[in-house]
Amino acid sequence: MKRGSIRGLLGKNRFSRSFSHSSVNVIESVPKFPPNSTIFSLIQPTGKIHLGNYLGAIRNWKDLSESQSPGTKYIFGIADLHAITVPQNPAKLKENRYEAIASLLSAGIDPDACILYHQSSVPEHTELNWILTCITSMGSLNRMTQWKSKSQQIETSTIFDEDVLGKTKAGLLCYPVLQAADILIFKSTHVPVGDDQSQHLELCRNIASTFNHTFKTNYFPLPSTLLTPAKKMLSLRNPTKKMSKSDADQNSCIYVTESPDAIAKKIKKATTDSIQGKIYYDPENRPGISNLINIISGLSRKSVVDTVEDLSWVKDHKQLKDHVTELIVEEFTDKRHLFNELMTDFSYLDSICKVGTTKAREITSVNIQEIKKIVGLD
């Protein structure tokens, strides 16, 4: 596999609006970062990526890495340590790690322009994690919502309830600290995430601030959250819930690697409604139609308002579904071919990660020594 083939299959997209400096920003275009920024994000290795992963994270990473800000580092990777907060089959986890790297490459992430690696290959992540765990309150972790959903607890649950405490693994409760360590070990300045992670990014800023205050330093920058412009992709079969590869009904989810026929069949079965005539956006009363509009909006990089205006020619649900199918097939065809090619060459994927790990550790090994000196562990 030649690296040039990765870049050759996918064109580059450029935008022009400038970047605003608040702690949470919605990316309406590729921002202009201050020189020497560090852009960082990880994705969990949960197998082949679906449409929501692609529009919500990976395409955004590609766009950001093409912003060409002087001296800026782009660091993207696979959060394999986060994956084991819930039980994993070892063989399946290994396969998922390869699929995750292949997915990033096939989506256009350029390993020459970015650092691309597996989280577990950089031990400084876990070393900083312990230091930060020691200054993070249990109350802060208890207020996080994701551990509750992943341990199947209600939103009002508290870790201090004996029944909840017995059912919740420590790793699941504490992984937001590891997430903070992931970000801070690189002294990251900007973190692109979906809105479901914004709470964890706020905790990361609080942990960084606590560290700086405790040790009377300004060592860690307080990273800005970059929220993806794409709306959350919902289940094709039940548009009241998020699109997920764990859904028992696999017709609810479209994968980047699926054939045009498979995509067409899934879109054909997508839930709409009985309202005939003009297509319009109404997530409350027309969730299925609105979900399809969001897909078109994300793929075309246009606002929902402009997307609805562009759909004025659509007269019925079939025309809308045919149009959605055409857009998805066009977006994913080259990516599917490249993914399949990459998955026949694990040695190439290993070589990409090895180079990325070396580059990552050139940064993290220096930073952890400085952190240890601040803490008194040098």
Q: What pLDDT is stored for residue 208 in this prediction?
A: 98
All residues at 6 or more sequence positions from 333 whose CB lies less than 8 Å from its CB, including other chains: 260
d(CA 108, CA 64): 12
State the DSSP code for 54: I
At position 366, the amino acid (one-letter code) is: V
Helix 317-342 to helix 260-268 angle (10° resolution) is 150
- Residues 257 and 273: their CA atoms lie apart, in Å, by 28
Is 249 among the domain residues?
no
Q: Does residue 240 sit within a domain? A: no
User: Nearest 5°: CA angle at 340, between 339 and 346?
Assistant: 85
Please tell me whether residues 203 and 284 are part of one structural domain: no
**Rounded distance between C-alpha atoms, residue 104 and residue 74, angstroms:** 13
Specify whether 365 is located in the same domain as 311: no
Task: Quote the pTM value.
Answer: 0.86
pLDDT per position as a tens digit, 141-168: 888 777 666 665 556 677 677 777 777 7
Please indicate, yes or no, whether residues 69 and 161 belong to a single structural domain of this protein.
Answer: yes
CA separation (Å) from 317 to 108, 266, 291, 298, 344? 32, 14, 13, 19, 39
Residues ≥6 apart with Cβ < 8 Å to 126: 81, 178, 181
Q: For the domain that residue 132 is a member of, what is the CATH number?
A: 3.40.50.620
Residue 306 lies in a domain: yes
Tell me the mean pLDDT in the region 214-227.
Answer: 95
Contact 76, 111 (CB under 8 A): no
Q: Does residue 209 or residue 6 have the better pLDDT?
A: 209
CATH, residue 282: 1.10.240.10
Examine the domain organization and report whether 307 and 224 are in the same domain.
Answer: no
Chain position carrying tokens 């308002």: 305
Which residues are identified as catalytic? 150, 242, 245
Between 186 and 13, the more confident residue is 186
As a whole-number percent, the residues of the chain with pLDDT over 70 amount to 88
167 and 293, same domain (yes or no): no
- 19-43 average pLDDT score: 71
What's the number of domains the chain is made of? 2
- Domain identity same for 115 and 227: yes
- Domain for residue 33, yes or no? no
284-335 confidence digits (pLDDT tens): 999 999 999 999 999 999 999 999 999 999 999 999 999 999 999 999 999 9
Query: Could you tell me if 62 and 210 lie in one domain?
Result: yes
Domain that holds residue 331: 260-343
On whether both 191 and 273 belong to a single domain, the answer is: no
Rounded to an integer, what is the distance from CA 301 to the centroid of its chain?
18
Read off the pLDDT band of 244 (50, 70, 90): confident
What is the C-alpha to C-alpha distance for residues 303 and 37, in angstroms, rounded to an integer? 28
What share of the chain in percent tops pLDDT 90? Answer: 69
